[in-house]
Amino acid sequence: MAARRAEKKAEPISAAEAALLVKSGDWIDYGVTHCQPDVFDKALAARAAELRDVKFRSCITVKPRAVLEADPKGESFYWFSWHFSGYDRKMHDQGIAHYMPINLGEIPDYYRRFLDPIDVAVLKTRPMDAEGFFNFGGTGLWHRAVVESARIVVVEVCESLPLSHGENCGVHASEVDFVLQGDGAPLAELPDIPLTDVDRAVGQLIADEIKDGACLQVGIGGMPNAVCAALLESGVKDLGLHSEMLTDGMVELVRAGVATGACKSLDTGKHVYSFALGSRSLYESIDGNPDFQCYQADYTNLPHNIMKNQRVAAINSTTRVDMTGQAASESSGFRHISGTGGQLQFVRGAYASPGGKSFICLPSVYERGDVRQSRIVLSLEPGDTVTTPRSDMMYVVTEYGIVNLKGKTVADRAKALISIAHPDFRDALEAQAREKRLIPKGY
């Protein structure tokens, strides 16, 4: 590593000059969320007509990408994502974006062991500090592994990124080839979607299961956020945070003094995360705050680390659960929606934690237009991706109740899941389960 670092000079470069570093057939890495470049992206898009077979690795794209907008037929650029955002999903529906199956916490290892070296990595960072480091600004994940794997490293500096504390949350100038001045645009924020009555009902059911000193992992979505809202009013104290994603709801728990980290065995007193995504208030809360620690995903998501904290409560969403307990959380048939993310690793890590609990939550019904369907189903649809296997499923929660599937027979699982389905669908579900012999005659 020392010899390689000596070759890097962190030279200033213009956007147009940086775009010329890319050649047809190259693998480009754009990083994750706020670390995806903007100025470079526009400059590279201007070269769409002269490039072919340029492949991008990306994840959770939080704003439109110029390279994709400039190549709507996908003739020059191929976009591969480790986890879809709404924009990635839209591009997938147009045949432009494509998914890479993963356990998110393993991705750093993929770069080190299984992927070809990156030709050009372009990551947005904070400007260089006095010690020569460019901070990743609240997005750790696998950016260190990207830097180590890349033939050419370009950083696009942006003053808007928050300063994050934690291990390996930046890149030193000695590892950087070129420095590009960014546009300083404000960071993208997640929309503040009001909680529904269903969200609140599910949130309360889960909050009732969380006791003093529990350590939380919270996924994205209304229901996990509703859990945080319910915990604010629950009287519970000294919660810990060890999560892949840091959300506004989790930060509210810290501000209210509900989450202190005092009972954590690992990183006691610290709020650990791998990427922060939410509102400007969230970004301001972590900016320069050493109580919030940003780590790589192979630290936050490793089940052997998760289980070191006691009473871990992993809270994640799904879209459909079959009557044996399989959760399809990332696709609807062959239409890809999101990704495995860290769900399975946190399900397993929480279960292995002393007193730990894993919660998979969903509304009982899918409703859109004239379509109204139960989300608890006899069997998954063709193309549905199983994110959490039935063998790993613990608590399943809808607005109608909460059931624990651990140790239950197939028949008992089916009965338990039918009990928390919407009442309008329970009779039909039981008839289907009996017809297919999931529930034996007379049982």
pLDDT tens digits for 346-380? 999 999 999 999 999 999 999 999 999 999 999 99
Return the amino acid letter for 64: P
Span 102-119, average pLDDT:
96
Strand duo 320-322 + 327-328: pairing: antiparallel
Residue 397: Cβ within 10 Å count: 23
pLDDT score of 102: 96
Residue 51 has pLDDT above 60, yes or no: yes
CA distance 87 to 74: 16
Domains and CATH numbers, the chain: 2-181 (3.40.1080.10), 197-435 (3.40.1080.20)
Helix axes 248-255, 222-232, angle to 10 degrees: 10
Instruction: Taking residues 262-278, report their average pLDDT.
Output: 98
Q: Pairing state of beta strands 240-242 and 215-218? A: parallel
- Choice among 244, 252, 399, 430 that is catalytic: 244
Per-residue pLDDT tens for 319-330?
A: 999 999 999 999
Tell me, yes or no, if 148 is annotated catalytic.
Answer: no
pTM of the model: 0.95
Closest CA to 425 of 391, 352, 390, 374: 374
Closest to 207 (Cα-Cα) out of 148, 249, 260: 249
Residue pair 413/325 in contact (Cβ under 8 Å)? The answer is yes
